[in-house]
Amino acid sequence: MYAIVEIAGQQFKVAKDQKVFVHRLDAEEGSKVNFDNVLLLADDKNITIGAPAINGASVEAKVLKHLQGDKVIVFKKKRRKGYRKKNGHRQQLTEIQINTIAASGAKPAAKKVEAKPAAKAQPAAPKAEAGEDFSKMTVAELKELAKAKGIEGISSMKKADLIAALS
Protein backbone atom coordinates (compact mmCIF):
# COMPACT_ATOMS: atom_id res chain seq x y z
CA MET A 1 0.00 0.00 0.00
CA TYR A 2 1.30 3.46 -0.87
CA ALA A 3 -0.04 7.00 -0.82
CA ILE A 4 0.75 10.33 -2.40
CA VAL A 5 0.59 12.93 0.33
CA GLU A 6 1.31 16.66 0.50
CA ILE A 7 3.85 17.52 3.19
CA ALA A 8 5.10 21.10 3.69
CA GLY A 9 3.99 22.18 0.23
CA GLN A 10 5.52 19.23 -1.64
CA GLN A 11 4.02 15.94 -2.80
CA PHE A 12 5.65 12.65 -1.78
CA LYS A 13 4.94 9.02 -2.66
CA VAL A 14 5.19 7.20 0.67
CA ALA A 15 4.81 3.64 1.91
CA LYS A 16 4.77 2.15 5.43
CA ASP A 17 8.17 2.21 7.24
CA GLN A 18 9.70 4.48 4.56
CA LYS A 19 12.07 7.30 5.59
CA VAL A 20 11.57 10.63 3.84
CA PHE A 21 13.46 13.96 3.99
CA VAL A 22 11.03 16.92 3.94
CA HIS A 23 11.35 20.66 4.49
CA ARG A 24 11.74 21.58 8.17
CA LEU A 25 8.60 20.82 10.22
CA ASP A 26 7.65 22.54 13.47
CA ALA A 27 7.73 19.35 15.53
CA GLU A 28 10.14 18.01 18.10
CA GLU A 29 12.32 14.96 17.48
CA GLY A 30 10.52 11.79 18.48
CA SER A 31 7.04 13.31 18.17
CA LYS A 32 4.33 12.04 15.85
CA VAL A 33 2.82 14.15 13.09
CA ASN A 34 -0.34 13.54 11.09
CA PHE A 35 -0.85 14.57 7.45
CA ASP A 36 -4.49 14.87 6.30
CA ASN A 37 -3.89 16.06 2.74
CA VAL A 38 -3.73 12.62 1.04
CA LEU A 39 -4.09 12.96 -2.73
CA LEU A 40 -3.98 9.28 -3.78
CA LEU A 41 -4.23 5.89 -2.05
CA ALA A 42 -3.29 2.61 -3.69
CA ASP A 43 -3.86 -0.91 -2.34
CA ASP A 44 -2.92 -4.07 -4.20
CA LYS A 45 -5.85 -3.71 -6.62
CA ASN A 46 -7.72 -0.52 -5.68
CA ILE A 47 -6.60 3.03 -6.47
CA THR A 48 -8.47 5.94 -4.89
CA ILE A 49 -7.89 9.42 -6.29
CA GLY A 50 -9.00 12.48 -4.34
CA ALA A 51 -10.57 15.62 -5.74
CA PRO A 52 -8.24 17.23 -4.63
CA ALA A 53 -7.83 15.26 -1.35
CA ILE A 54 -9.40 12.08 0.02
CA ASN A 55 -11.77 12.75 2.92
CA GLY A 56 -10.92 10.77 6.04
CA ALA A 57 -7.54 9.53 4.81
CA SER A 58 -4.39 10.34 6.74
CA VAL A 59 -0.73 9.43 7.02
CA GLU A 60 0.97 9.27 10.42
CA ALA A 61 4.72 9.70 10.71
CA LYS A 62 7.37 9.99 13.40
CA VAL A 63 9.98 12.77 13.36
CA LEU A 64 13.40 11.12 13.51
CA LYS A 65 15.73 14.13 13.39
CA HIS A 66 16.29 17.65 12.10
CA LEU A 67 19.29 18.25 9.85
CA GLN A 68 20.75 20.38 7.09
CA GLY A 69 21.03 19.33 3.47
CA ASP A 70 24.15 19.46 1.34
CA LYS A 71 25.71 22.85 0.60
CA VAL A 72 24.67 24.40 -2.69
CA ILE A 73 27.11 26.94 -4.16
CA VAL A 74 25.67 29.74 -6.32
CA PHE A 75 28.41 31.46 -8.36
CA LYS A 76 27.56 34.37 -10.66
CA LYS A 77 30.08 35.86 -13.06
CA LYS A 78 30.05 38.34 -15.92
CA ARG A 79 33.12 37.94 -18.08
CA ARG A 80 35.46 40.82 -18.72
CA LYS A 81 33.62 42.98 -16.16
CA GLY A 82 35.28 41.89 -12.92
CA TYR A 83 31.89 40.88 -11.51
CA ARG A 84 31.90 37.76 -9.33
CA LYS A 85 29.41 36.82 -6.60
CA LYS A 86 29.63 33.63 -4.56
CA ASN A 87 26.75 32.56 -2.35
CA GLY A 88 26.00 29.33 -0.50
CA HIS A 89 22.88 27.73 0.92
CA ARG A 90 22.04 24.72 3.09
CA GLN A 91 18.39 23.66 3.22
CA GLN A 92 16.86 22.90 6.64
CA LEU A 93 15.36 19.38 6.53
CA THR A 94 13.43 16.98 8.75
CA GLU A 95 13.74 13.21 8.45
CA ILE A 96 10.45 11.41 9.07
CA GLN A 97 9.46 7.75 9.07
CA ILE A 98 5.98 6.78 7.89
CA ASN A 99 4.19 4.71 10.57
CA THR A 100 0.67 4.17 9.22
CA ILE A 101 -1.44 4.98 6.19
CA ALA A 102 -5.13 5.14 7.13
CA ALA A 103 -7.67 4.97 4.31
CA SER A 104 -10.61 6.12 6.44
CA GLY A 105 -11.57 7.07 9.96
CA ALA A 106 -9.14 9.95 10.33
CA LYS A 107 -10.39 13.13 11.94
CA PRO A 108 -9.64 16.23 9.85
CA ALA A 109 -7.86 19.06 11.62
CA ALA A 110 -10.25 21.65 13.03
CA LYS A 111 -9.90 25.05 11.43
CA LYS A 112 -10.07 28.05 13.75
CA VAL A 113 -10.75 30.46 10.89
CA GLU A 114 -14.42 29.42 10.69
CA ALA A 115 -15.18 30.62 14.22
CA LYS A 116 -14.12 34.24 13.58
CA PRO A 117 -16.62 35.16 10.80
CA ALA A 118 -19.54 33.93 12.95
CA ALA A 119 -18.48 36.28 15.75
CA LYS A 120 -18.33 39.25 13.38
CA ALA A 121 -21.76 38.58 11.85
CA GLN A 122 -23.58 38.70 15.21
CA PRO A 123 -22.80 42.33 16.20
CA ALA A 124 -24.23 43.64 12.89
CA ALA A 125 -27.76 42.40 13.71
CA PRO A 126 -28.17 44.25 17.07
CA LYS A 127 -27.35 47.58 15.36
CA ALA A 128 -30.50 47.32 13.24
CA GLU A 129 -32.62 46.24 16.20
CA ALA A 130 -31.44 49.22 18.26
CA GLY A 131 -32.86 51.55 15.58
CA GLU A 132 -29.53 53.19 14.74
CA ASP A 133 -29.19 55.48 11.74
CA PHE A 134 -28.53 53.50 8.54
CA SER A 135 -26.49 56.31 6.98
CA LYS A 136 -23.69 55.74 9.51
CA MET A 137 -23.36 52.05 8.56
CA THR A 138 -21.09 50.74 5.83
CA VAL A 139 -22.42 49.20 2.62
CA ALA A 140 -21.22 45.75 3.75
CA GLU A 141 -23.18 46.04 7.02
CA LEU A 142 -26.27 47.21 5.15
CA LYS A 143 -26.01 44.26 2.75
CA GLU A 144 -25.77 41.85 5.69
CA LEU A 145 -28.93 43.35 7.23
CA ALA A 146 -30.76 43.20 3.91
CA LYS A 147 -29.72 39.58 3.44
CA ALA A 148 -30.93 38.76 6.97
CA LYS A 149 -34.32 40.35 6.21
CA GLY A 150 -34.61 38.42 2.95
CA ILE A 151 -34.38 41.33 0.51
CA GLU A 152 -33.37 40.17 -2.97
CA GLY A 153 -31.14 41.93 -5.51
CA ILE A 154 -28.83 43.50 -2.95
CA SER A 155 -25.68 42.88 -4.99
CA SER A 156 -26.59 45.61 -7.52
CA MET A 157 -27.97 48.12 -4.97
CA LYS A 158 -26.12 51.27 -3.93
CA LYS A 159 -26.05 52.58 -0.36
CA ALA A 160 -29.08 54.85 -0.83
CA ASP A 161 -31.10 51.97 -2.34
CA LEU A 162 -30.18 49.69 0.57
CA ILE A 163 -31.25 52.32 3.12
CA ALA A 164 -34.55 52.78 1.31
CA ALA A 165 -35.15 49.02 1.18
CA LEU A 166 -34.37 48.56 4.88
CA SER A 167 -36.57 51.51 6.00
pTM: predicted TM-score of the whole model, two decimal places: 0.58
In a domain, 51, yes or no: yes
Contact 40, 4 (CB under 8 A): yes
Tell me the per-residue pLDDT of 34-79, one tens digit each, with 9 for 90 and over: 999 999 999 888 999 998 899 999 999 999 999 999 999 999 999 9
Tell me the per-residue pLDDT of 99-110, one tens digit each, with 9 for 90 and over: 999 988 656 555
Same domain assignment for residues 158 and 81 = no
Same domain assignment for residues 52 and 120 = no
Cα–Cα distance for residue pair 64/54, rounded to 1 Å: 27
Same domain assignment for residues 98 and 42 = yes
Cα–Cα distance for residue pair 121/150, rounded to 1 Å: 16
